[in-house]
Amino acid sequence: MPAGSVGRVCELTGDESFCQRVREMGFGEAALVTKISGTTTSLCLVNGTRIALNHPAAMSILVEQIPALGRVDGPASAR
Amino acid sequence: MVGNPNCGKTTLFNALTGLRQKVGNYPGVTVEKKIGITYSQHGRPIQVIDLPGAYSLAARSPDEAVLRDVLLGRREDTPQPDRIICVVDAANLERNLYLVHQILDLGRPVIVALNMMDMAADAGVKVDAAELENELGVPVIACEAVNGRGLVELRLALSRLELPLARHRWDVPGPIAPAVAELQASLRDHDGRPPLIARAEALLLLTDFDTVRVGGSRPLSARTHEILQQWRQRWAGEGTDWSAALIRSRYDAIDRLCRNVIRRTRDTGPSRSDRIDAVLVHSVWGWLVFGAIMAVLFFSIFTLAEHPMNWIDGHVAGFGAWVKQSLPSGDLRDLVTDGIIAGVGGIVIFLPQILILFFFVGLLESTGYMARAAFLMDRPMSKVGLNGRSFIPLLGSYACAIPGIMATRTIENAKDRLITILVAPLMSCSARLPVYLLMIATLLPSDAVPAGTKAGIMLLMYALGTLGAFGFAWLFKRTLFKGGVPHMIMELPPYQPPRFKEILRHMFERGWLFLKNAGTIILAISIVLWCLTTYPKHPNPEATATEQIAQSFAGHAGHALEPVIKPLGFDWRIGIGLITSFAAREVFVSSMGVIFGVEAEDDDTQPLRDALRSAHWPGGAPLFTPLVCLTLMVFYVFAMQCMSTVAVVKRETNSWRWPLFQIAYMTGTAWLVCLILYQTGRALGY
């Protein structure tokens, strides 16, 4: 996801414990996420909270970009 | 008192109890429960327990487990609380209510403290506290802990003899309900859990299948385990992730509740924190600012502290001279002047620099920059197999390794936590500061040497320790604790203006601790060391001070050590300093003061530095050459010399294995690196 774009979480993959923690933080499936900045380590906005994700974590969160709000079409990871 | 990380629990706790627990603007400041007393409106004492922050009762790190175990009544040292204050961040209500929702399931009396109302208003969020109270059925108190608003109302709520129990507005999703009921019954009948605790634990087990993590130290009964496995297999066969559905179901309920409670008054656009973050976590600007902050820190340590240090030095010298004139000559006078004043006074002089270090650390913690530093450092940390979360304990270890090691409790992965514990003491702590400063002053005696050069050498020592920590983390990750880079998800708190009152209070507390150490441990060691260097007396009363120390008890111990440290350029006198440093590293300075017989009557403000510069080997060669000073600093960078840290590592790892390993690998590395450095330097003619 490029910086400034908005997406919706489609799927969480990978480590089960991590997925549950992400969901408990309100970052689960269907949550809206705004990418603020970052390449290797990403900074996102979820429910008004700034969340930092490292590369493996970001690659585990699959996001569908929202054309009406975002800038680019097509699926992507939170990275 | 419970809540998400960084929602203001400790600030509220301090305001209620009048205590001064450490507060910081980053997640994970509180890692162990803290207890204080507040009073009801009728003067009845109420014990308040501040628990570490957590996003959920499904604990995944040791600090979160403290919260879960206290609430579920599993801690033998803490009875189950009579009532629970849930502190929630009004600006992030939905996420904060997830934990509240789980806690309401416990069926205990709950008070919700709706904190940070001012920040919510700034973010364009209006929270209707009365409507939230109506929805939940428990008292909801709007408050701003920082400004003391809402404290009276909170005390009144705590004073109520009876609190209403929450109206249950959440039903377990239909397909999961039989599993919850069956597990609840088994936990109640076979594991002896009270009914509501059994229900909460059943829900946790269905959200997190790790029974050891959820069940704690008491293993689940075979029957409960069997039921859990059956449900897990059944759900796996159906291909439905019911554990995710449970969390989603709670969030759906919270979402419905918030529709009546939250009103967004305006779209505020990018916040102040967003605009600051655009620079501070930028891939180029962020690193430049980080480097500038570190440079200013070390430069300030040298420049700002100069005048107060001279002032202290002058007064210590004056006091020593007065004592020397007032007491008759003899062993008692020598003990007071050469033992106590030289030892303790030599340490107290470094107080201004310690205060400056803690002021800067406090500033970084208070503003919210610590979490940004962890964000920036995530990339380099990933190169050694860790993530940015490990950097906060490491950064904290610059001040002192003990709170740094305790801060590792926020790390979820056990292997990564252990690696962070093992490398944290390599970060140069404030106790090393006096040693570095003394060696730099001996290395570069001229006042004409710019402060920038001295700060540069200091920065080099800090960089060496940091690189050492990274190098060993990389090595351990590839040998002892193999595994990939762990996932990191971390909340970055909004920036806040520095709370100077808190920073100064913490700074003076640390300064007082430093002085207390000087007045207890260092005083005791100075007296013992003076005795060990004074007795037995040399048969010749005209013997020089060096001859006296050489044949004393300490001299014998130092000589026994000398063969091991001589290849590093250190003699037996430095050896005594290295041994005494195991009590606390800064003791090295006072030990040198006692060993080199620095008398406080000297008018020179740098008597110890002069004494070191004039020290010689028996053959006449100078002892503290620039190369030896540098080697000694490097030894202090790597060696494990702090008994308190050893004790904390033992407690945190619950074994002697890791602290002993830590002593062996760090001190072994120190010896080897110093050997290479000194012998190479000698070969090159230094």
**Residue B88 per-residue DSSP state:** E
Main-chain dihedrals φ then ψ at residue B339, nearest 5 degrees: -90, -65
Position B27 in a domain: yes
Closest partner CB to A20 (pick from B247, B388, B492): B247
Do B151 and B195 belong to one domain?
no
Position B276 in a domain: no
Greatest mean pLDDT among B179-188, B335-344, B610-619 lies in: B179-188
Q: What percent of chain B has pLDDT over 70?
A: 95
Do B439 and B354 belong to one domain?
yes
Structure tokens at B29: 């400041």
How far apart are alpha carbons B15 and B265 in whole angstroms? Answer: 30
Average pLDDT over residues B474-482: 92
Segment B137-149, tens digit of pLDDT = 999 999 998 888 9
* Structural domain harbouring B434: 289-326+350-482+502-506
Do B46 and B102 belong to one domain?
yes
Determine whether B9 is exposed, middle or buried from the number of CB atoms within 10 Å of its CB (0-12, 13-18, 19+): buried
Do B119 and B220 belong to one domain?
no
Is residue B127 helix, strand or coil? Answer: strand
Residue B269 has pLDDT above 90, yes or no: no
Do B106 and B214 belong to one domain?
no
Residue B491 is inside which H or E element, if any?
strand B489-492
What chain A residue is nearest to B381 in terms of C-alpha separation? A54
How far apart are alpha carbons B551 and B289 in whole angstroms? Answer: 54
Main-chain dihedrals φ then ψ at residue A50, nearest 5 degrees: -80, 125
Beta partners for residue A51, in sequence order: A44, B491
Position B270 in a domain: no
H-only helix segments in B262-390: 272-280, 285-303, 306-326, 331-334, 342-348, 351-367, 369-383
Identify the CATH number of the domain in which residue B40 sits. 3.40.50.300
Number of other residues whose CB lies within 10 A of the CB of residue B152 = 12
Instruction: Return the residue matching tokens 């706790």.
Output: B13
Residue B503 has pLDDT above 50, yes or no: yes
Determine whether B217 is exposed, middle or buried from the number of CB atoms within 10 Å of its CB (0-12, 13-18, 19+): exposed
Residue A72 has pLDDT above 70, yes or no: no
| pLDDT confidence band for B362 (50 / 70 / 90) | confident
CA B545 vs CA B102, B113, B194, B597: distances in Å: 71, 67, 73, 7
Average pLDDT over residues B637-644: 88
Position B379 in a domain: yes
**Mean of all residue pLDDT scores within chain B:** 86
Position B339 in a domain: no
Position B496 in a domain: no
CB contact under 8 A, B492 and A24: no
Give how many domains chain B has, as a whole number: 4
What's the confidence (pLDDT) of residue A74?
Answer: 43
Residue B575 has pLDDT above 70, yes or no: yes
CB contact under 8 A, B125 and A48: yes
Segment B18-28, tens digit of pLDDT = 887 777 766 66
What's the confidence (pLDDT) of residue B215?
Answer: 67
Number of other residues whose CB lies within 10 A of the CB of residue B459 = 17
Do B429 and B529 belong to one domain?
no
Which position has the higher pLDDT, B676 or B597?
B676
Structure tokens at B653: 């790892």
* Lowest model confidence (mean pLDDT) among A15-19, B44-48, B154-158, B600-604: B600-604
| pLDDT confidence band for B592 (50 / 70 / 90) | confident
Do B130 and B181 belong to one domain?
no
Residue B603 has pLDDT above 60, yes or no: no
What's the confidence (pLDDT) of residue B28?
Answer: 66
Do B546 and B439 belong to one domain?
no
Do B516 and B561 belong to one domain?
yes
Q: Is B54 on the interface with A (CB under 8 A)?
A: no
How far apart are alpha carbons B206 and B244 in whole angstroms? Answer: 9
Q: What percent of chain B has pLDDT over 90?
A: 32
Do B519 and B616 belong to one domain?
yes
| pLDDT confidence band for B174 (50 / 70 / 90) | confident
How far apart are alpha carbons B40 and B216 in whole angstroms? Answer: 34
Do B302 and B394 belong to one domain?
yes
| pLDDT confidence band for B624 (50 / 70 / 90) | very high
Residue B272 has pLDDT above 90, yes or no: no
Do B530 and B434 belong to one domain?
no
What's the confidence (pLDDT) of residue B283?
Answer: 85
CB contact under 8 A, B378 and A16: no
Could you tell me the end-to-end alpha-carbon distance of chain B, in angstroms, rounded to an integer?
A: 61
Instruction: Return the residue matching tokens 């130290």.
Output: B217
pTM, two decimal places:
0.79
Greatest mean pLDDT among A31-35, B233-237, B643-647 lies in: A31-35
Residues in chain B: 686
Position B22 in a domain: yes
Average pLDDT over residues A41-65: 90
Interface test with B, best of A40, A41, A51, A77 (most B CBs within 10 A): A41
What's the confidence (pLDDT) of residue B524?
Answer: 83
CB contact under 8 A, A22 and B92: no
Structure tokens at B212: 């050891």
- Residue B81 region, left (φ>0) first, then alpha (ψ -120 to 50), else beta? beta
**Residue B218 per-residue DSSP state:** S
What's the confidence (pLDDT) of residue A70?
Answer: 46
How far apart are alpha carbons B95 and A26 in whole angstroms? Answer: 6
User: What is the complex's ipTM, to 2 decimals?
Assistant: 0.86
CB contact under 8 A, B488 and A57: yes
Whether B172 and B144 have beta carbons less than 8 Å apart is answered as: no
Position B245 in a domain: no
Average pLDDT over residues B517-536: 81
What's the confidence (pLDDT) of residue A69?
Answer: 52
